[in-house]
A and B are shown apart, each in its own frame.
Chain A
Amino acid sequence: MALQLFLNGVILGSIIALGAIGLSLIYGILKFGHFAHGDLMTLGAYFAFLFKVQLGLPFWLAFVLAAALTAGAAILLNLILYRHLKKRDSVIVMISSVGAALIIRNLVLLFWGPQNKFYEKAIQMPIVLGDGLLRIKENQIIILVLALTLVIAVHLFLSKTKLGKAMRAMSDNIDLAQITGINTERVIIWTWAMSGVLTAAAGILLAFDTHLTPVMGWNLLLPLFAAVILGGIGSPYGAMFGGLVIGISQEMSTLIISAAYKPAVAFTIMILMLIIKPSGLMGKKV
């Protein structure tokens, strides 16, 4: 039982990690909590629904197209909204992102309606391992492989490429980045693009595991923030680690408490971290 919950936790955790990386970088660079991140995730999942189910494209192509469109949506949000609020107090930018979240969610409702949707209607038989000790569906294996691949890709991007290093540098110290000659405006656009791709991936994988609903991303926002804070705001590596910890803790908690309290687990971890070590596990000192 515990092993099964651990596996479920790793699957949920890697989905949270994907969403949290972008959220953390945006927090680090633009200094505000992006509350529309969960709904961008929803949007990505519905874009994939459009391509896969409504237009009948293969899954991988739907995935790529949805990720690209979500990246475009994130850049557009920056262009028409956040860029103009750059010099405002971070609370104002944060509130405006709540507004953006509502707009995105209602657009999803408008185009796709409130009913649950599925990428596939067929019921999948799980693969049973070790005399029924562990059950895993084929979809979940795909989720794990895709999430892991993306996390490794993000790691290589952030640690090996000039643009990736510039992103981390800006998250560390934006003023110094500027006098170092980094074109900060350009890096900000790329950060939105990368966040868009990763949130779309998170949304698609979440829907692939279960189903699509217009509130799927919004419901995951708290665990996303908990992962970011646990790992240390602005630290993409912290976000990956934080995502896994939150996912596993949420699932494992059902061993001792009712599953209805799963969000409370994320919340409790977040609050404890803020009290004990506000800089997070891998963040810089605040």
Chain B
Amino acid sequence: MLRINDIYSGYGEIEIIHGITLNVEQGEIVSIVGPNGSGKSTLLKSIFSLVDIMGGEINYLGSDLTKAATDQMIKKGLSFVPQTDNIFPTLTVAENLELGAYVSRKNLSDRFDLIYNLFPPLVEKRKKKAGTLSGGQRQMVAFGRALVMEPKLLLLDEPTAGLAPMFIDLILEKVEEINKTGVSILMVEQNAKKALAMSDRGYVLAAGEKKYEDSGRGLLENKEVAQLFLGG
């Protein structure tokens, strides 16, 4: 459903991604792993045109994303959860979710119910300002905002970064749960072993280039990958 073809991207004059090709098929969980500074997040941001695209093309469900406006991408079922600053802190939890539905407000209450079923702790925090929640709960709000539009493909930028260990597993379980409802996932993750273990396929990046690509299990069992990127 998503095809990134030989993409070059970065910030201004600085090229960070040097020609990466990647694809995500319907229903898959695909992980992008690699050391700090390898360009994982930049690659993810390229899809949403949040960085400068210098070459290559990104195709989603048959149309060119590099020319699409953000609201069009969202309408076509693409959602992005940034790594940091991914909630509106002075707005309530309910308002955060509501803004997730900014481009279309059809069947809003049904969609809210889905989110509250997925993240029950948010129910009683509905009227609390999102900025007052714990790290794990904030992440639930961030996911909720992205899921309100019922995306077909969810892009997650390090969903467990900065979370307490107990929340890391919880959030990753939720990612699998979301995937089981038919949402494809493309995520960048620091916890490479955990991410690859739950992924259908994975890509290993280093210095802005694709070094390995295989099934999640295949990458975990690859001795070279283990030694160089997964800490032995």
Determine if B91 and A183 form an interchain contact, defined as CB atoms under 8 angstroms apart: no
Contact (A183, B71) CB under 8 Å given A165-B99, A175-B82: yes
Determine if A176 and B91 form an interchain contact, defined as CB atoms under 8 angstroms apart: no
Chain A 151-191 residues near chain B, CB threshold 8 A = 162, 165-166, 168-169, 171-173, 175-183
Determine if A178 and B91 form an interchain contact, defined as CB atoms under 8 angstroms apart: no
* B52-93 contact mask (Cβ, 8 Å, vs A): 1 or 0: 000000000000000000110011000010100111111100
Interface status of A235 (Cβ within 8 A of chain B): yes
Determine if A172 and B102 form an interchain contact, defined as CB atoms under 8 angstroms apart: no
CA A132 to CA B76, docked complex, whole Å: 69
Interface status of A86 (Cβ within 8 A of chain B): no
For A162, A176, A284, which residue has the most chain B Cβ atoms within 10 angstroms? A176
CA A166 to CA B95, docked complex, whole Å: 10
Contact (A176, B90) CB under 8 Å given A169-B99, A181-B74: no
Determine if B90 and A284 form an interchain contact, defined as CB atoms under 8 angstroms apart: yes
CA A181 to CA B100, docked complex, whole Å: 8
Name which residue of chain B comes closest to A170, CB basis: B88
Chain A 220-242 residues near chain B, CB threshold 8 A = 234-235
Determine if B88 and A176 form an interchain contact, defined as CB atoms under 8 angstroms apart: yes
6 A-B contacts, Cβ less than 8 Å apart? A169-B88, A173-B85, A176-B85, A176-B86, A178-B70, A181-B149
CA A282 to CA B129, docked complex, whole Å: 12
For A169, A176, A181, A182, which residue has the most chain B Cβ atoms within 10 angstroms? A181
Chain B residues closer than 8 Å to A166, beta-carbon distance: 99, 102
- Which chain B residues have a beta carbon within 8 Å of chain A's beta carbons? 48, 50, 70-71, 74-75, 80, 82, 85-91, 95, 98-100, 102-103, 105, 131, 145, 149
Chain A residues closer than 8 Å to B149, beta-carbon distance: 181
Determine if B82 and A181 form an interchain contact, defined as CB atoms under 8 angstroms apart: no
Determine if A181 and B98 form an interchain contact, defined as CB atoms under 8 angstroms apart: no
* A6-43 contact mask (Cβ, 8 Å, vs B): 1 or 0: 00000000000000000000000000000000000000
Chain B residues closer than 8 Å to A175, beta-carbon distance: 50, 82, 85
Determine if A182 and B48 form an interchain contact, defined as CB atoms under 8 angstroms apart: no
Determine if B71 and A181 form an interchain contact, defined as CB atoms under 8 angstroms apart: yes
Determine if B89 and A181 form an interchain contact, defined as CB atoms under 8 angstroms apart: no
Determine if A181 and B102 form an interchain contact, defined as CB atoms under 8 angstroms apart: yes
For A172, A180, A285, which residue has the most chain B Cβ atoms within 10 angstroms? A180
Chain B residues closer than 8 Å to A168, beta-carbon distance: 88, 90-91, 95
Chain B residues closer than 8 Å to A162, beta-carbon distance: 102, 105
Determine if B100 and A179 form an interchain contact, defined as CB atoms under 8 angstroms apart: no
Chain B residues closer than 8 Å to A172, beta-carbon distance: 88-91
Determine if A176 and B103 form an interchain contact, defined as CB atoms under 8 angstroms apart: no
